[in-house]
Structure 1
Amino acid sequence: MKNKPKNILVCVAWPYVNGPPHLGHIAGMSIPADIFARYNRLIGNNVAMVSGSDMHGTPVTLLANDLGVTPEEISKKYHDIWSKSLKEMNFQYDLYTHTHTENHMKIVKDIFQILLEKKLLEIREQLMPFSVTENIFLSDRLVEGECPNGDNDKARGDQCDVCGRTLDPTDLGNIRSKRDGSIPEFRKTSHFFLRLSKLENEIRDWLQSKKDWRQNVKNQSLSFINEGLKDRAITRDLSWGVDIPVDGWEEKKIYVWFEAVLGYLSATVELFKNTKNPEMWKEFWEDENSESYYFQGKDNIPFHAIILPAILLGVENKNLPTEVVANEYLNFSGKEFSKSRNWAVWLPDFLEKYSADSLRYYLTSIMPETSDSDFTWEGYVSSNNNELVANLGNFIHRILTMSHKNFDGKIPKFESESESTKEIIERCNNAIKEVGTSISKRRFREALNNLMALSKFGNQFLDKNEPWKKMKENKNEAGEILGQSIIIINAISCILEPFLPESSQKLQKILFGETINEWELILPKPGTPFEKPMPLFEKLDEEVVLEENRNSLDE
């Protein structure tokens, strides 16, 4: 008997839409989230996978100013590009929205009001950097300087990317404007502060209760707590963003780090808004048996392991994250991805030339789960040719081609009760279980390795029994081997779906005439016709790939 379905909320980090997506954006967030969501759907859970474009970030405003257009125009342009690329990667979002919807802005303002009523927000004066040359207050991301830890002289006014610490502009040494290099003055301005210090003990207790979190996430979060949480301003002197729902504050906006983390809630509400059950969002946010997983880069740890829980504790009756699944960084040929230096592999460009599944495979195999990893074009080609084509694709294509050609396009007869068949069935069922366990524990590289181990087992079984030699001597014996091998292929077609959905669907249509969407082994029926197979994966020429992408290796 199957367990009662769970409600699983899969939350994927919201990107700034000041440019197209590059591979670093999706490697640690979208890919693991999609694998996890697809697996949970296959085992019968109710899944809501949500995200969207962060339209109110300072990078959006900066780009709009440089191009002489409005922030709304530039964010809409890149939101559409992001949406298209994510669909082409076959990421199965239930909703990919953005932060400039009426729904999102209303929910943010409602939560602001609740926190204000509960005295978790208060007005304070604050010193903020002011550009004398431009006559404007500079937001946190418009200034940089030395981190107080002394390990980075280009820390932003909101965070140091080296140590991960959240900062205020006043924390920086030798502060300067990123716009023109000038040294700003610090002037007084009034803002609303979120009183994190009042929630410190509750957040600490909650974090300490998390036994299964990745150690880097838990340790970093607790280190921030143990230093003492500082109250943080959640408004800024900006003209683009969510309005502050208080009279007299029309010239300022709610700051992006506060409103963006509420996008998961507003997106879930939006997802069910026009359905038969618009209150269904509460099943994911207020049912204590529901689970929520937040897929992020490591730079987002404090915002999702401290800031968001603080807001939710203040609002009350909202589930805190089951886990913040934060990955390290994906680099490109030994250096960090960089929009400003154009050191990147842009996802739209990649998908014009190569398959989504080949990229999903490679990025999963090098996923930066516990340390930074590196994308190289040589590694991508090797992954495609030596693993997808030579291991997985070769095994599947050899078996299905030989069976189709020699057995009238039908699955060969095999003895389902023989010891060898039972051993293969057990091996396949174990593989399905192992892959599922690894995914459920958010160990995606381990899960992929377990999948490829089954393919390797299939190749070894085939090479040991050599059905091509037996075909002339004893066709029935050859058919037995091929039929048993198709059991392995059926298992692969099942566990392939979360990782390479397009390839899984192609394979299932060959085998079953349709996609089956089941997380279990379906035994092949001897004599059942199946489609003439075509190779699932194409070999790449490394010289051609390197030549095609030589420009991406020039800064």
Structure 2
Amino acid sequence: LTVNAPLTSATDFSWDDFQRGVTDELADVPGNFLHRTFSFPGRFFAGRVPAAGELTAEDHEFLESIRTAHDTVGELLDKFQFRDALMHIIKLAKMGNKYFNDQEPWKTVKESPARASTCLHLCNLLAANLGKLLRPFMPSAAGRILSIMNLEDEPWGFHELEEGRVIERAKPLFSKIPDEAIEEEKAKLIEEDDEVETVTIDDFASMDIRVGVVRSAERIEGSDKLLKLMIDVGEREMQVVAGLAEKYSPEDLVERKVTVLVNLKPAKLFGVKSEGMVLATGESLNLLDPGDAEVGERIR
């Protein structure tokens, strides 16, 4: 959601975009990197972080990217640039995948064990720091990453990784969302759209709707749509601001019966207090005619 949503405006949510994001940005990038990184120590290094040997220029470049990541991400978060911060983390995980592939530890573990050991040490170093970097965005997933590395209590900031740290058995951290699950969620949205919002009889009974007669009417200065009406509802007269001026002149309404919601919370419109609401149709502005009902009679 953070990757897809714009930072300064509203956005539309799409289950298809969500599915692609989980697959492309999570399962295929950090998910793939972390699973391979955690699996190799279990297979070849007794389930522990191997030692780092002599570093090549490529190793140093990779290590520097890990060291500076917390500062970069922290600065972006301080500026509320959440998407850029998350994309920097995803980019770091992509770099990890490329480094892993280029180093080919599945080959060097037999041909050059020291090289494989260094590669796996640096990859686990990145994994530990990815767990911490992801905390502001996905605290549960980040917690699982750190738990695998027994680093639950580590604070924010670059973390060195010592040789011999136990790596728990690897588990898939980000699962791809199957098409069937997405179609099920889409169907729920369609069902919700088809549902009609209902009210209870008690909701309706709480509305005091009465027959009234307009005793005076005048335009409100500065508005082309509003009229100020004084309406007799039997027990009292009330002032109502009504958006009827586009269809009715003040003269059209004087001594005309109307239907009024009389227990609406008072509000000010164009600075004029309104104590109720005249009922009319939404588009055509046709007043709801109470016929020969008596003034003050309640609508039930």
Task: Pick the TM interval, shorter chain.
Answer: 0.5 to 0.7
Q: How does 1:220-369 map to 2 (within 5 A)?
A: 363-369=1-7
Instruction: Specify which of 159, 163, 180 is matched with residue 522 of structure 1.
Output: 159
Task: Deviation per CA, 1:145-186: give whole Å up to 9, x if none.
Answer: xxxxxxxxxxxxxxxxxxxxxxxxxxxxxxxxxxxxxxxxxx
Please report the TM-score for the alignment, with normalisation by the length of structure 1: 0.33
Q: In structure 1, the residue corresponding to 2:177 is in which secondary structure?
A: coil
Contact 2:54 2:118 in 1 (8 A): no
Aligned mates of 1:447, 1:416 — CA distance in 2 = 32
Instruction: Output the amino acid matched with 1:534.
Output: K
Instruction: Output the amino acid matched with 2:105.
Output: P
TM-aligned CA deviation for residue 447 of structure 1: 0.7
Aligned mates of 1:436, 1:553 — CA distance in 2 = 40
Partner of 2:296: none
1:483 aligns to 2:121 (yes or no)? yes
Instruction: Output the amino acid matched with 2:166.
Output: P
Instruction: Output the amino acid matched with 1:385.
Output: T
Partner of 2:18: 380
Q: In structure 1, the residue corresponding to 2:12 is in which secondary structure?
A: strand
Task: Deviation per CA, 1:239-286: give whole Å up to 9, x if none.
Answer: xxxxxxxxxxxxxxxxxxxxxxxxxxxxxxxxxxxxxxxxxxxxxxxx
Aligned mates of 1:517, 1:365 — CA distance in 2 = 26
Aligned mates of 1:393, 1:462 — CA distance in 2 = 14
Aligned mates of 1:415, 1:392 — CA distance in 2 = 25
Partner of 1:436: 74
1:549 aligns to 2:186 (yes or no)? yes
Structure number with the higher helix fraction is 1
CA change 1:446–1:424 in 2 (3 A) is same
Query: Please, what is the CA RMSD of the aligned residues?
Result: 1.8
Please report the TM-score for the alignment, with normalisation by the length of structure 2: 0.60
Q: In structure 2, the residue corresponding to 1:492 is in which secondary structure?
A: helix
Which sections of structure 1, spanning at least 5 residues, go unmatched? 1-362
Contact 1:403 1:479 in 2 (8 A): no
Aligned mates of 1:553, 1:414 — CA distance in 2 = 55
Aligned mates of 1:525, 1:416 — CA distance in 2 = 15
Aligned mates of 1:519, 1:381 — CA distance in 2 = 30
Partner of 1:452: 90
Partner of 1:319: none
Q: In structure 2, the residue corresponding to 1:451 is in which secondary structure?
A: helix
| Greater Rg by CA | 2
Partner of 2:146: 508
Task: Deviation per CA, 1:414-456: give whole Å up to 9, x if none.
Answer: 1376654433332112221111111000011111111111101
CA change 1:432–1:526 in 2 (3 A) is same
Which sections of structure 2, spanning at least 5 residues, go unmatched? 194-300
Instruction: Output the amino acid matched with 1:533.
Output: A
Q: How does 1:2-401 map to 2 (within 5 A)?
A: 363-401=1-39
Contact 2:73 2:88 in 1 (8 A): yes
Contact 2:53 2:117 in 1 (8 A): no
TM-aligned CA deviation for residue 539 of structure 1: 1.5
Partner of 1:407: 45
1:539 aligns to 2:176 (yes or no)? yes
TM-aligned CA deviation for residue 366 of structure 1: 2.1
CA change 1:488–1:531 in 2 (3 A) is same
CA change 1:529–1:517 in 2 (3 A) is closer
Aligned mates of 1:535, 1:423 — CA distance in 2 = 28
Contact 1:414 1:479 in 2 (8 A): yes
Task: Deviation per CA, 1:52-89: give whole Å up to 9, x if none.
Answer: xxxxxxxxxxxxxxxxxxxxxxxxxxxxxxxxxxxxxx
Instruction: Output the amino acid matched with 1:529.
Output: V
Contact 1:411 1:528 in 2 (8 A): yes
TM-aligned CA deviation for residue 374 of structure 1: 2.1
Q: In structure 2, the residue corresponding to 1:529 is in which secondary structure?
A: coil
Aligned mates of 1:416, 1:433 — CA distance in 2 = 26
TM-aligned CA deviation for residue 509 of structure 1: 1.3
Aligned mates of 1:518, 1:452 — CA distance in 2 = 21
Contact 1:404 1:411 in 2 (8 A): no
Identity %: 29
1:468 aligns to 2:106 (yes or no)? yes
Contact 1:411 1:526 in 2 (8 A): yes
Contact 1:410 1:528 in 2 (8 A): yes
Aligned mates of 2:36, 2:108 — CA distance in 1 = 15
Q: In structure 1, the residue corresponding to 2:2 is in which secondary structure?
A: helix
Give the stretch that moved more between structures: 490-499 or 514-523: 514-523
